[in-house]
Amino acid sequence: MDAVDAGIFEAWLASSDDGVVAVDAEGRVVLHNPAASRVTGLAPSAARRRPWRDVLRLDPAVSDLLWTAKTSNRPISALASVLCAQGNLRTAEAVARPWTAADGRTGLLVLIRDLTVLCRTRTGPGGRAGYGGMVGADPVMTALYDLIEAIARSDMPAVIEGESGVGKELVAQTIHARSHRAERPLIAVDCGAVSASLLETELFGKLRPARQGSSSVGRVELAHSGTLLLDRVGAASPGAQARILRLLETGTVERDGEGAPRKVDVRVLATTIRPLDQEVREGRFRDDLLRRLQVVRIRVPPLRERRGDVALLGDHFLARHGAPAARLSAAAAAVLQACDWPGNVRQLEHMMRETAAGLPADVETEVEPHRLPEMLLGSPKGAAADPAPHSMEDRRTILLRALSSHGGNRTAAARSLGIGRATFYRWWREAGMGGEEVSAP
């Protein structure tokens, strides 16, 4: 970086409204800008070279979660309380990502956005706005936080159950970050995204003859001493289910083509959209695997069961996507709370990202209903909310309305519902709409 670039960078750091804290590979602060001082209560010179956990005093679960960003390929964010040097609490959003120092070692870069006033408005003095990377103050969420806290430090397998878009992977990340395995990897495998013939190799690896190159190491071995997350475990093939059961019973794996078992130490978490006991009754999942895997059952509530969190989440996503000075008006919050959100939190984030794109970044703005996206769940904004897709008829109506609104483009329709294409096609098949013409309901 030449002198001009360095000067521009220094000027940006000094004028930025967001706090910036850079941490070296040893966990010591090497950069702390003035905006960070408003959250930590420490002058930049007083923060440098101190352990970052002493500077950015967070709940240990949040600190552990952010530290995992060093080995992650994407940013990790959390809404948390920060204890200032003066003893008062500030509420901030922290976004952590890895950075490479001049010596080639990986450190942590943390961006901090002060949300104290906003969160007090939404939750009241002393309100609990979130936990780990999760945002929400509704009683169903505080009960979820308590359950996570209770089981995180054990090694018990657990199944995280919930609809598409509720944040099941985020729950798994929080459990891992709060556990004694937090410094080790969290390795995820989407059992529904890999063909049955490849899933076992993906999980357990494969021994190849020397002339064909080196053997492949499976995800289970890569997760050694850490946590293995089996996403959409109900989609695992029968052969993979049998080998997962063996892993849970014996703590060993065998690579394909290799007869000798290998000892591994992993905690196994799994996610599912459909309850696994229902999958057992319908013959798609092993009963003995269910008993081994579902030692703890964690249900993540859909957004329609925590409507009181919609405004808090909406403000959080506006800040995350470039409009930190914006907040939802009471009227806009009421419109959003009236919806049933079949795509859950993911769908709300998509809509707030679209809303934030049209807002100034640094001007205090109260977002009124007319600034919200034109279609909410395929309905004109402000219209009565569509029912959540409890029944096939409800789901059929929602899908057809979204398709009609987007000219039959299923990718665009899925995006408007805040769900992925795979979920859209699954809903489509389950509603028996394989040959359905696209038209308004």
Lowest mean pLDDT of 37-51, 239-253, 292-306, name the range: 37-51
The pLDDT value given to residue 257: 77
pLDDT tens figures, 58-103 = 877 678 878 888 887 667 877 667 878 777 677 777 888 898 888 8
The pLDDT value given to residue 394: 58
pLDDT tens figures, 98-148 = 988 888 899 999 988 876 655 544 554 445 577 877 888 888 998 898 899
* AA letter at 375: M
Backbone angles phi, psi at 183, to 5 degrees: -80, -10
Strands annotated E in 241-357: 252-253, 262-263, 267-272, 296-299, 326-328
pLDDT higher than threshold 90 for residue 352: yes
User: For the residues 278-286, what does the mean pLDDT come to?
Assistant: 95
Token pair 């899908």 in the structure block, residue: 399
* AA letter at 420: G
pLDDT tens figures, 397-432 = 677 777 776 777 888 777 766 677 777 777 777 776
264: confidence class by pLDDT, cuts 50, 70, 90: very high
* Phi-psi domain of 322 (left: phi exceeds 0; alpha: psi -120 through 50; beta: other): left
pLDDT higher than threshold 60 for residue 391: no
The pLDDT value given to residue 335: 86
Tokens of 347: 């769908």
Q: In terms of Cα–Cα distance, which of 77, 44, 87, 102 is closest to 316?
A: 77
State whether the Cα torsion 12-14-20-26 is positive or negative.
positive
Tokens of 396: 């059929």
How buried is residue 330: exposed, middle or buried, by Cβ count under 10 Å (0-12/13-18/19+)?
Answer: exposed
Cα angle 374, 379, 384; round to 5: 120
* Phi-psi domain of 267 (left: phi exceeds 0; alpha: psi -120 through 50; beta: other): beta
Tokens of 312: 């808090």
Number of H helices and E strands in the chain, helices first, is 19, 18
Between CA 52 and CA 30 the distance in angstroms is: 9
State whether the Cα torsion 78-79-80-85 is positive or negative.
positive
Tokens of 306: 């925590």
Between CA 41 and CA 54 the distance in angstroms is: 12
The pLDDT value given to residue 436: 45
Tokens of 215: 């053997």
Between CA 398 and CA 401 the distance in angstroms is: 5
Lowest mean pLDDT of 57-66, 74-83, 183-192, 213-222, name the range: 74-83
Tokens of 180: 């004694």
pLDDT higher than threshold 70 for residue 44: yes
23 sits in which H/E element: strand 19-23
Q: Which residues of 266-282 are buried (b: 16+ CB within 10 A; e: fewer)?
A: bbbbbbbbebbeebbee
The pLDDT value given to residue 125: 42
Between CA 126 and CA 52 the distance in angstroms is: 25
